C-alpha cells in the first residue's frame, strides 16, 4: 500500500465536476460523448475487451475462478490494461464481475469456468436476507480499490477508467437461480409471488452496488457502467414495477459524484425508455435495435452506447467494415455516441478484427459531419 | 396401415377453404381467431403443452431421445392428446421437434435430453449441402403422417390439430452450431461471410419445411406453426436480408392449402413487422412486447398469438390471474387473438395453474365486448 503507484490521483473526478461545453475542450473523447458534447471523433471500447479473445490474456490469466484473478490487484490491473494497449480504445473497463460484492460479503457464490456464477445455497426465503450484509469496500474488496488506484496511475489521462457493478435485478437472478438461467423462472416467481421480500432483497443489492461504485469512483474511476445484463427477460410492466425503482436508486446513489453513468442490458428494446428513466447519461443498446430506432425511445439528452453485433466480428472483414459503418451512420447527427459491441466480445474473436474496428471508428466517426 | 383409425379425414381442410365470415359460424374458436373472425371466446393453447410439466407425460414418455418418442406414432398421438384432455385447450399441437426432417434424412442430429439438438458433424462448408437431400414424407417420416391421421380421428372437430415445422434460420442455427447456442456466432459468421452458401442452405431447409408441412396438412392438420424460435438473435437488417425471403417461401409454399399459418419466435419485438411480411395469418409474440404494442407493429388484418410470460406461471395464482387478464385486456377490441404463453410451458409448471388459465381465458375473453 506504500507503493506510490497505488496512490489515488485526485485530479480525475475533480476535473469532471460541473463540466460545460466551453470548459470541456480537453475532456477525453469518451467522457465528451457520454455527456453528449460535440467532439471530433466517436470514442470506442468493447465490453469484455479484457478476455479470452486476447492471447496475452490467456497467457496471464491461467485457469481457475475469475474471482481469484480479480482479487489479485496486480493481475487485474494488467488484464484491464491489455486491451487498452493493444486496441487503442478510448476507455478502460475495470476487470471485474458482477458477483464480486456478494461473493466478498460471503454469500457463497463462485464463478465456474465455462458456466458462470453458481451459488451453493440460492436465495429463497426471508432468512436469506441475513446473508447480505452491507459491503465495506476497504475491508471486503481492498483489491478492487488497489486495482482502481493502480490503473489511475497507469492509464493515460485520455483513457478514463470505467467502474463496474451489477444491477440489482441481474445480481438477484444469479442469487435466486443459483446458476445461469434462460428462463428466470424462480426469479420471476419470487419477484411476483413475494413482492415485499423481493423489494427487501433489491434494497440490499442496491446498497451493495452503490457502495461498490462509490468506492471505485472516489478512488479514481471516471465513469461507471451498471450491468443489468438480463433485464431484457422482463416485460415492460414487470420491469417498471419490480426493477426500475431500484435501478434508479443505484444511479441516484452515485449522482453527486458527477461521473457519467452507463446503463446496460441485452434484449432491452422494449425497455429502453424505462431504462433511460432510471437516470443514467448513457443507455446501452444491443444489436437488435438499430441506433436510429433506439434514439426514438430515449430522451434526446441521452447518449447511446453500442451496438455492433459481436457475432458479426467472426465474419470476414468486409462484413465487419460494413456493419461498423452502418452503426456509425445510424447515430449520425447526435454527438452522444460511444461505439461498442451490443454485448461482450466473443472468445473466438480475432483481436486483429477489433483493432481494425477501432481504427475505422476513429477514422470514420464524425466524418459524416455530425460534430 | 389398414387400421380405419389411421385413415385421413378429408373434410377438415376442405371445410376451411375460402371461408368467409358468414359461412364460418361453426368454425372452431381457434380457427376463427386465426382468421380474425369475431367469435364468442378467445381460444387458448400452450406451446409445449405436451411435456414434462404433465405427470401423465412423464409416466408415458420415459427417458431417451424425443426423436424416438416422435417416431412411435401411438405414443406421439397419446402425448399430443394428453393436454387436450386435461386442459380443454382449443387446439392440439403435433408432438414433434424442429429437427425431425433433418434427422430423418440422415444429417446426423439427435436431441440430447437436458441439452437439446446436437449435431455430430455440424454444417460448415458447401460439401455439407449434399447431406441435405429432399424429404419424402411417406418414406422418411411415415410415423409423422400416422400420428397426424390418428389424431384427426381422435380429436373432436372443435379442436384442430396444428402442424409443426422449424423455420429455416432456426434449423440452420442448430446444424451450424452443432448444439444450442446463446450467441449464434458460427451461424452469423457463415450467413454474412458466405452469403451464397447461406442462401443455398436456406433453400434446402425451406424445401424440407414446406414438404413436411404439406404432408401434415394433406393428412389432416388444420393449421401450421412455423417455429423460428431464435430469429430474435438477429438485427432487423440482417433478418430482412438473410432470413425473411426464405421464411416467406415457407409460408408461400403452403398458402394454397388454405390453413391458417402461425409464425413464432422469441425476443422478436424489433422483427414483428418483418415477420408479418413473411405472410402468416398469425404472428406469435413473446411476453416482452405487450400485445397492444405488438398490434401497432403488424398489419391490422393479422391475428396475434400470445403472450403470457411462462415464468409467471410459477408464481401464486393471483399473479397468474392478473397477468392473464392483462394479456386479454391489451388485445381487447381485435378479434384476432389466440391466447398462448410467450414461449413454451416450463417443466416446473403446476398443471393446475394452466387448467385455471384456460378457464379464465374462456370465461373472460370477449367479456370486454370485443366480439
CA of B315 to nearest chain A CA: how many angstroms apart?
4
CA of A194 to nearest chain B CA: how many angstroms apart?
9
Q: Hey, of B243, B309, B329, B353, which one would you mutate to test binding to chain A, going by the most A CBs within 10 A of its CB?
A: B309
Whether residues B293 and A270 touch (CB distance < 8 A) is answered with: yes
| Domains of chain B as residue ranges with CATH | 46-301 (3.20.20.210)
Q: Which chain A residue is nearest to residue B237, measuring alpha carbons?
A: A290
The pTM (predicted TM-score) of the whole model is: 0.91
How far is Cα B210 from Cα B224, in angstroms, rounded to an integer? 11
B153 neighbors B217 (Cβ within 8 angstroms): no
Give tens-digit pLDDT for B56-90: 999 999 888 999 999 999 999 999 999 999 999 99
Whether residues B311 and A235 touch (CB distance < 8 A) is answered with: no
CA of B96 to nearest chain A CA: how many angstroms apart?
22
C-alpha R_g of chain B = 19
Residues contacting B105, CB < 8 A, separation 6+: B132, B133, B134, B135, B140, B208
Residues contacting B312, CB < 8 A, separation 6+: A188, A189, A192, B287, B319, B320, B323
C-alpha R_g of chain A = 19
What are residue B187's phi and psi, to 5 degrees? Answer: -60, -50
In this structure, what is the dihedral angle of CA atoms B65, B71, B77, B83, given to the nearest 10 degrees? 20
A151 neighbors A216 (Cβ within 8 angstroms): no
| A179 is a catalytic site residue | no
How far is Cα B275 from Cα B268, in angstroms, rounded to an integer? 9
Beta strands A116-119 and A109-112 are antiparallel
A154 neighbors A12 (Cβ within 8 angstroms): no
Of A90, A97, A286, A309, the active-site residue reads A97
Chain B residues with CB-CB distance to A183 below 8 A: 310-311, 346
How far is Cα B280 from Cα B296, in angstroms, rounded to an integer? 17
Whether residues A270 and B287 touch (CB distance < 8 A) is answered with: no
Predicted ipTM of the assembly: 0.90
Q: Which chain A residue is nearest to residue B185, measuring alpha carbons?
A: A311
Residue A303, sorted as left (phi over 0), alpha (psi -120 to 50) or beta, turns out to be beta
Chain B residues with CB-CB distance to A270 below 8 A: 269, 288-290, 293
pLDDT score for B10: 35
Q: Which of residues 152-181 of A touch B (CB under 8 A)?
A: none
Whether residues B270 and A269 touch (CB distance < 8 A) is answered with: yes
What are residue A305's phi and psi, to 5 degrees? Answer: -120, 125
pLDDT at B17 over 50: no
| A48 is a catalytic site residue | yes
| A228 is a catalytic site residue | no
H helical segments located in chain B = 11-16, 29-34, 55-61, 66-70, 73-87, 100-104, 137-140, 142-154, 168-177, 185-193, 195-218, 236-238, 244-252, 272-277, 291-295, 317-330, 351-364
Strand order in the sheet with B282-284: B92-93, B161-166, B223-227, B261-264, B282-284, B303-308, B337-341
pLDDT score for B21: 44
DSSP for B74-125 reads HHHHHHHHHHHHHH--S-EE-S--TTHHHHHTT--EEEETTTEEEESS---S
How far is Cα B305 from Cα B342, in angstroms, rounded to an integer? 8
CA of A56 to nearest chain B CA: how many angstroms apart?
23
Chain A residues with CB-CB distance to B312 below 8 A: 188-189, 192
Give tens-digit pLDDT for B84-107: 999 999 999 999 999 999 999 999
Residues contacting A262, CB < 8 A, separation 6+: A34, A162, A223, A224, A225, A226, A280, A281, A282, A283, A284, A305, A338
Per-residue pLDDT tens digits of chain A, which is 371 residues long: 334 333 333 333 333 333 344 444 589 999 999 999 998 899 999 999 999 999 999 999 988 899 999 999 999 999 999 999 999 999 999 999 999 999 999 999 999 888 889 999 999 999 999 999 999 999 999 999 999 999 999 999 999 999 999 999 999 999 999 998 999 999 999 999 999 999 999 999 999 999 999 999 999 999 999 999 999 999 999 999 999 999 999 999 999 999 999 999 999 999 999 999 999 999 999 999 999 999 999 999 999 999 999 999 999 999 999 999 999 999 988 999 999 999 999 999 999 999 999 999 999 987 444 43
CA of B308 to nearest chain A CA: how many angstroms apart?
10
Cell of A319: 462484413
B108 inside 8 A of chain A by CB: no
Containing A272, the helix (H) or strand (E) segment is: helix A272-277
User: Which of A282, A205, A296, A268 shows the shortest CA–CA distance to A45?
Assistant: A282
Whether residues B312 and A188 touch (CB distance < 8 A) is answered with: yes
Whether residues A186 and B235 touch (CB distance < 8 A) is answered with: no
Chain B residues with CB-CB distance to A238 below 8 A: 309
The residues of B assigned a catalytic role are 48, 52, 61, 97, 174
A124 neighbors A195 (Cβ within 8 angstroms): no
How far is Cα A162 from Cα A222, in angstroms, rounded to an integer? 6
Whether residues B189 and A238 touch (CB distance < 8 A) is answered with: no
Residue whose C-alpha cell is 467532439:
A39
User: Which of A251, A172, A168 shows the shortest CA–CA distance to A217?
Assistant: A251
Cell of B26: 361453426
How far is Cα A315 from Cα A196, in angstroms, rounded to an integer? 48
| A174 is a catalytic site residue | yes
Cα separation values, A153 from A148, A149, A160, Å: 9, 7, 11
B308 inside 8 A of chain A by CB: no
Q: Residue A130 gets which letter from DSSP?
A: G
pLDDT score for A25: 55
Whether residues A189 and B311 touch (CB distance < 8 A) is answered with: yes
- Across the range B173-198, mean pLDDT stands at 96
Q: Which chain A residue is nearest to residue B317, measuring alpha carbons?
A: A193
Q: Which chain B residue is nearest to residue A268, measuring alpha carbons?
A: B288
DSSP for B5-41 reads GGSPPTHHHHHHTT--TGGGTTS-HHHHHHTT---SS
Chain A residues with CB-CB distance to B310 below 8 A: 183, 185
A271 neighbors A288 (Cβ within 8 angstroms): no
A195 inside 8 A of chain B by CB: no
Query: What residue ranges in chain A does DSSP mark as E strands?
Result: 92-93, 109-112, 116-119, 161-166, 223-227, 261-264, 282-284, 303-308, 337-341
Q: Which residues pair with B92 in a beta bridge?
A: B161
Cell of A99: 458477483
Q: Hey, of A235, A269, A295, A313, which one would you mutate to test binding to chain B, going by the most B CBs within 10 A of its CB?
A: A235
Q: How confident is the model at residue B14 (pLDDT cuts 50, 70, 90)?
A: very low
Cα separation values, A236 from A182, A239, A314, B75, B265, Å: 18, 5, 32, 40, 18
Amino acid at each position: 500500500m506504500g507503493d506510490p503507484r497505488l496512490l489515488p490521483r485526485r485530479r480525475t473526478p475533480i476535473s469532471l465536476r460541473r463540466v460545460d461545453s466551453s470548459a470541456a475542450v480537453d475532456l477525453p473523447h469518451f467522457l465528451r460523448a457520454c455527456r453528449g458534447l460535440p467532439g471530433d471523433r466517436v470514442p470506442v471500447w468493447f465490453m469484455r475487451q479484457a478476455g479470452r479473445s486476447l492471447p496475452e490474456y490467456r497467457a496471464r490469466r491461467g485457469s481457475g475462478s475469475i474471482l481469484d484473478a480479480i482479487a489479485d490487484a496486480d493481475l487485474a490491473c494488467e488484464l484491464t490494461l491489455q486491451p487498452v494497449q493493444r486496441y487503442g480504445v478510448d476507455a478502460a473497463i475495470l476487470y471485474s464481475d458482477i458477483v464480486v460484492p456478494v461473493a466478498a460479503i460471503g454469500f457463497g457464490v463462485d464463478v465456474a469456468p465455462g458456466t458462470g456464477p453458481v451459488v451453493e445455497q440460492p436465495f429463497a426465503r426471508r432468512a436469506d436476507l441475513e446473508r447480505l450484509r452491507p459491503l465495506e469496500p476497504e475491508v471486503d474488496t481492498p483489491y478492487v480499490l488497489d486495482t482502481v488506484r493502480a490503473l489511475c496511475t497507469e492509464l493515460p489521462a485520455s483513457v478514463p477508467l470505467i467502474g463496474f457493478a451489477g444491477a440489482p435485478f441481474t445480481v438477484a437472478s444469479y442469487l435466486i437461480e443459483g446458476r445461469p438461467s434462460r428462463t428466470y423462472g424462480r426469479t420471476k416467481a419470487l419477484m411476483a409471488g413475494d413482492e415485499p421480500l423481493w423489494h427487501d432483497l433489491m434494497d440490499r443489492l442496491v446498497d451493495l452496488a452503490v457502495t461498490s461504485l462509490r468506492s471505485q469512483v472516489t478512488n479514481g474511476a471516471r465513469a461507471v457502467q451498471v450491468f443489468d445484463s438480463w433485464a431484457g427477460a422482463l416485460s415492460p410492466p414487470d420491469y417498471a414495477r419490480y426493477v426500475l425503482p431500484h435501478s434508479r436508486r443505484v444511479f441516484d446513489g452515485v449522482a453527486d459524484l458527477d461521473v457519467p453513468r452507463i446503463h446496460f442490458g441485452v434484449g432491452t428494446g422494449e425497455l429502453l425508455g424505462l431504462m433511460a428513466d432510471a437516470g443514467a447519461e448513457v443507455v446501452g443498446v444491443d444489436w437488435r435495435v438499430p441506433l436510429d430506432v433506439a434514439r426514438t425511445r430515449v430522451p434526446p439528452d441521452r447518449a447511446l452506447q453500442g451496438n455492433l453485433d459481436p457475432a458479426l466480428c467472426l465474419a470476414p472483414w468486409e462484413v465487419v467494415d460494413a456493419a461498423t459503418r452502418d452503426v456509425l451512420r445510424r447515430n449520425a447527427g447526435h454527438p452522444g455516441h460511444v461505439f461498442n459491441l451490443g454485448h461482450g466480445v466473443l472468445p473466438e474473436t480475432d483481436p486483429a478484427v477489433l483493432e481494425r474496428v477501432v481504427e475505422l471508428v476513429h477514422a470514420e466517426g464524425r466524418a459524416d459531419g455530425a460534430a
